[in-house]
Structure 1
Amino acid sequence: MDKVVKTRRGGPRTFDRDQAIDIAMRLFWRHGYEGVSLNDLTAAIGVAPPSLYAAFGSKAGLYREALDRYFGLRGPVWDIRTATTLQETIETLLHKAIDAVTDPAGERGCMISSGLIQCGPDHADLARETAERRNTMREMIAETLGRWLDQENAVSLARYLVAVLQGLSVQAYDGASRQELRQVSDEVIAGVQARGFS
């Protein structure tokens, strides 16, 4: 819902909360939590700091909502639920992830895979929450793999695939092309096949 807030100049502005979250998500995705200042956020969103605090409580509160928004995007983990074989599941996960982290319409990399890996002690709670989201992602993958594998192998393979996803995210952020990342995924798929999983 839109609400009217006062800017520092005293003129009323329409503050679109959803749009603010989208803008913040893109900034945090591109620069990380500590790479985005309060001034960056207020300038990009077009509101004064008191308005941002009134809407989100704090920069951390806005980051949490941006993470919620990002996590709710239909990503590769959701796409694997319709796969009909183990091999299709792994290929879909890796290929869709590569498409996502190299999509020119988005930002490079993955906000969750590489978010708040390192941070100052003041942001340890946020780092734990981001790690919990990575754990949730891994559990979702393991649950899907469990359609074809026993629990131990499903959990082990899910952990391996999440490590690959994190590596793909970092390489995409560093400028690797979709084709280069597909070469990585081809190697991963071949390795999984060699272990007799598919």
Structure 2
Amino acid sequence: MQPEKKSRGGRPWSFDRDQAVETAMRLFWRSGYEGVSIGDLTKAIGIAPPSLYSAFGSKEGLYREAIDRYEERYGSIELDFGENPSLADAMRTLLEGAVRSVTHPDREGGCMVSSGMIACHPDHAPLAHDAAARRDALRGRIGTALHPFLDEDTAQRLARHLSAIMQGISIQARDGATPTELQGIVDDVVDGVAARFPA
């Protein structure tokens, strides 16, 4: 691995920092923050603990970079509903995009944000609060996207409902649910909302 930027002490790192973040992201995505040790990280990245601490400050620092990487690359949701969609069309686009994201064969199962840091040791509360804030921000974006179809209060209420569905889809995907099985959830949710809010 070739050196990239310099460490905090001014010496060049003897590893690819970008690849280290990518590797850590995959480990944290697969096993959760508390399921990955410093030893797991250093072994997978191919560095000694002092190099990890020099580059990232701590395991927490590396996790924060890893989850930022995840959101940048995999955390977006489909909010382009096309021309003149119905509310049901918009919801189907959103939920089917979520299913594809959490069951993609080249990725880890589930969503790193939706199912991350749900429960943790009190020492890791700041990371749990950060994960909750990321989920809340996503819910807000969904509510904004639904506002053209509904009044603001109803859009935000439906966004909370859909966020809960998406979290459940993420967890079931981690447990091995297939895209076909998860599609059944999408169909039922869309049918229910279409009946409540007929076009």
The answer to whether the 8 A contact 1:76-1:97 is kept is: no
Q: Distance in 2 between matches of 1:102 and 1:80?
A: 19
Task: Deviation per CA, 1:125-166: give whole Å up to 9, x if none.
Answer: 100000000001101111111122111011001000000000
Structure number having the greater strand percentage: 1
SS of corresponding position for 2:189: helix
Stretch moving more, 79-88 or 136-145: 79-88
**1:16-48 per-position Cα deviation (integer Å, ceiling 9, x unaligned):** 111111111110000000000000001101111
Structure 1 residues without counterparts, runs of 5 or longer: 6-11
Q: Compute the TM-score of the two structures, normalised by the length of structure 1.
A: 0.91
2:51 and 2:198 mapped to 1: Cα distance?
53
Relative to 1, partners in 2 of residues 1:65 and 1:163: Cα closer, same or farther, differing over 3 Å?
A: same
Go from structure 1 to structure 2 and tell me whether the alpha carbon gap of 1:4 and 1:152 turns closer, same or farther (over 3 Å shift).
closer
CA distance in structure 2 between the aligned counterparts of 1:114 and 1:142, rounded to whole angstroms: 20
What are the equivalent positions in structure 2 for 1:131-170 lying under 5 Å apart? Answer: 131-170=132-171
Question: Per-residue deviation at 1:71?
Answer: 0.9
* Structure 1 pair 35–191 and aligned structure 2 pair: CA distance change class (3 A): same
1:9 corresponds in structure 2 to none
TM-score, length-normalised on structure 2? 0.90
Q: How many residues align?
A: 191
Percentage identity across paired residues of the two chains: 53
Match of 2:79, SS? Answer: helix
Q: Indicate conservation of the 8 Å contact 1:4/1:14, yes or no.
A: no
How far did 1:3 drift?
4.0
Flag structure 2 segments of 5+ consecutive residues without an equivalent: none
Q: What RMSD, in angstroms, separates the aligned Cα atoms of the two structures?
A: 1.8
